[in-house]
Amino acid sequence: MQQYHCNTTQRSWKKGSILEKLGICTKPTFLKWSSSAMPAGSEPRLYTIDTKFDNVTVRIYQPKGLSTGQRGIIYLYGGAGLFGSIKAYRMLCRYLSRESESVLVCVGQRLAPKHRCPAQIMDCITATEYFLKNASDYGVDPNRIVIAGDSTGAGMVPLVCQHLLTRKDLSKVRAQILLYPNIQTLDYNLPSYQQNRNVPILFTKWTAEFDLRFMNVKLAYLDQVLKGGHVSEEMKMKYKKWIHADHIPDEFKVRGYKPPPPVPFSKELHEMMKLSFDPKHCALLVEDDVVRQLPETFMLTCEYDVLRDDGLLYKKRLEDNGVPVTWHHAKDGFHGIGNESEDAAFPGLCVRGDIVAT
């Protein structure tokens, strides 16, 4: 199943490349279509409701037979802000709702490049605020709501939680669940980016390409960004305390790591990628007084994932600021492992229930 998923994604991306060169559609558009086209059977144990929360499209999964005061999950899907969809994540969301016996809200996001950032984050914030205000209408205890996400969605989860710290009128989020999070776009030369450069399903080059497309930066700058030409020496020194290979434990460097050589800085490119340095868009750059207010966290990282070190760096930031973290590292896992199948999704997360079942 893992090999099938990897091969399918690679084939879709290659086909998308051909269609993009022919001027038919972009690669992200084709990948969104192909992922949403995967068949999925019905789920008789859940009610499924398609609706809108303040004009944001959502799908609600609700286990049948539940009483009031139940747990709630707000799910923010991945896809780099380019090609994720509610339909593509229906199998995973069904699994999480069913196995944790929780009401799950999967939040639809407007996608780049048609809708530029921060449209995606604002959609997630809007839907989350609505659900927190109206949780009882769906049989959910507002004090038992967690926010979860994978990949880019997992990178948005702490951004939503950071925003909610300013909303004293709403119930506090019980926990945040981060599944192989995409948390930063400053350093594409961390150990995991080097070690897993060509490991399916997410290559290092693809990661940077997705980020450029999301920020509407021309792909002609791709090689420059991969080398770090968008980050000035001043910025590197400023954020070294949070984003640097020195903070990655030695056990994660045994498969190889070489410090990147110095590269020329491009002020023009830096300006085009200014979102990379905005704490409202990069949770790793938020000051400590904000981080220490964040909720308890569950984090999943995978050894064969370019984003592994994003998760490790954010885990360290949370722990350094006293935020309780339950961490699981899949030693044979790769990016997107949660989308393999309903049965294989995250058996530890829902069945063991460290956070979700609280």
Neighbours of 303 (CB within 10 A): 17
Write the single-letter amino acid at 272.
M
Residues 6+ apart with CB under 8 A from 21: none
- Catalytic, out of 100, 102, 151, 192: 151
CB 61 within 8 A of CB 46: yes
Q: How many residues does the chain have?
A: 358
151 catalytic? Reply is yes
User: What residue has token string 């038992």?
Assistant: 144
How many whole angstroms separate alpha carbon 131 and alpha carbon 138? 9
How many whole angstroms separate alpha carbon 56 and alpha carbon 230? 33
Phi–psi pair at 326, nearest 5 degrees? -100, 115
305 catalytic? Reply is yes
User: Where do the H-state alpha helices sit in the chain?
Assistant: 2-21, 27-36, 90-100, 119-134, 152-164, 191-195, 204-214, 222-227, 233-239, 267-272, 288-291, 308-320, 347
Quote the DSSP letter at residue 199: -
How many whole angstroms separate alpha carbon 314 and alpha carbon 310? 6
- Catalytic, out of 123, 150, 305, 309: 305
CB 151 within 8 A of CB 273: no
Output the CA torsion sign for 17, 270, 285, 235: positive
Quote the DSSP letter at residue 322: T
**Cα–Cα nearest to 2, from 206, 151, 180, 201:** 201
- Catalytic, out of 5, 230, 281, 335: 335
Tokens at 334, concatenated: 């790769």
**Active-site residues: which are they?**
151, 305, 335
